[in-house]
Amino acid sequence: MKKMLIVLACASLASALCAADFADFGYQNRGEKTIDGVSYTILANKDGNELQFRSEPEPSATRLKALSELEGTLRSWKSLDIAAIRAVNESDRLILTVVPRKVEYNGQDLVSALPGGLVFYFVSAVEYDFRVKAGDYIVRIRGFFGPEGELMGLVESALKDPVAYLAQRDPQYAIRRMAEFNAMITDLQKADADQSATVKALRKALEDSQNSLMATMNKGFFGGPKPLNAAMVAKLVELKAASPALDRKGAAAALKAAGMNVSAKEIDIVFAVKFGESQ
């Protein structure tokens, strides 16, 4: 019995110390709540806004300070109407997930493009790492925390033109997705010859996306997207169709013989995007 009382007293003391720690950073402990089978501590900030908190190790003062400051900043953002904030303190990092009701930016609501919400991490600095759903593309947005407009601008850019966004940050993913799209069009054409109008429209959409991707991959260090010469691309596609084993060296020689002055970089881009052959 005495041992049990000691255990209960220690648990009570630990709880009181934890509550005192939270209070030092402007939080009131409102008790425990089970959400989706997981137990969270409900913390309320000075304005009464609640935050769902779970911790594996005991949170350090540095982590709690980062949590308080990040939450305060995010709640001040005009673009965010926040439904819930969930924070998990793991051994190696603090994770904060914002579940928004609305994300209004430049006159549009971006919330449907953020099925997993906005996810932030803190180790020694705050970073973000979450996904944007843009049509058939899932675009990863990641980087170091900055101003509201900067982050919302990235979400808007990824949503508006996922191909260009991926070309700048993850071109190999965009190339794979286009190869899958091309295979889908080919299968559709084989399955139903009457779908010629649909196939033609899909091929045009694929070609436009490929041209956008190649232009972005071809841009200089300081310049914007630089479209490839359309005649050169068409000639290279023609050469590859006639000789599937054609490699980059052979392509350069054939294009030179045809009177086209083409850089090795441009040939690499066409091989990667049009033929799915990356180096």
18 and 129 assigned to the same domain: yes
Establish if 165 belongs to a structural domain: no
Same domain, yes or no: 53 and 183 = no
103 and 146 both lie in a single domain: yes
Domain co-membership, 148 together with 248: no
The answer on 155 and 76 residing in a single domain is yes
CB 83 within 8 Å of CB 100: yes
Instruction: Label each residue of the chain as H, E or C.
Output: CHHHHHHHHHHHHHHHHHHHHHHHCCCEEEEEEEECCEEEEEEECCCCCEEEEEECCCCCHHHHHHHHHHHHHHHHCCCEEEEEEEEEECCCCEEEEEEEEEEEECCEECHHHCCCCEEEEECCCEEEEEEEEECCEEEEEEEECCCHHHHHHHHHHHHHCHHHHHHHHCHHHHHHHHHHHHHHHHHHHHHCHHHHHHHHHHHHHHHHHHHHHHHHHCCCCCCCCCCCCHHHHHHHHHHHHHCCCCCHHHHHHHHHHCCCCCCHHHHHHHHHHHHCCCC
pTM for this predicted structure: 0.62
pLDDT (tens digit, 0 to 9) for every residue of the chain, 279 residues total?
434 333 333 333 333 334 448 899 999 999 999 998 999 999 999 999 999 999 988 889 999 999 999 999 999 999 999 999 999 999 999 999 999 999 999 999 999 999 999 999 999 889 999 999 988 788 889 888 999 999 999 999 999 888 778 777 777 777 777 888 888 888 887 776 666 778 888 888 888 888 888 888 887 655 677 899 999 999 999 999 999 999 999 999 999 999 998 998 899 889 888 888 876
Note whether 76 and 10 are same-domain residues: yes
Domain count, the chain: 2
Which of 64, 82, 54, 76 is closest to 27 using CA atoms? Answer: 64
Cβ(210)–Cβ(178) below 8 Å: yes
Rounded Cα–Cα distance for residues 127 and 122 (Å): 6
Whether 142 and 9 share a structural domain: yes
Residue at which a domain ends, from 133, 160, 187: 160
What is the Cα–Cα distance from 252 to 264, expressed in whole angstroms?
8
Spatial distance between the Cα atoms of 30 and 22, rounded to a whole number of angstroms: 11
pLDDT score for 220: 65
Domain range spanning residue 58?
Answer: 2-160
Q: Is residue 48 included in any domain, yes or no?
A: yes
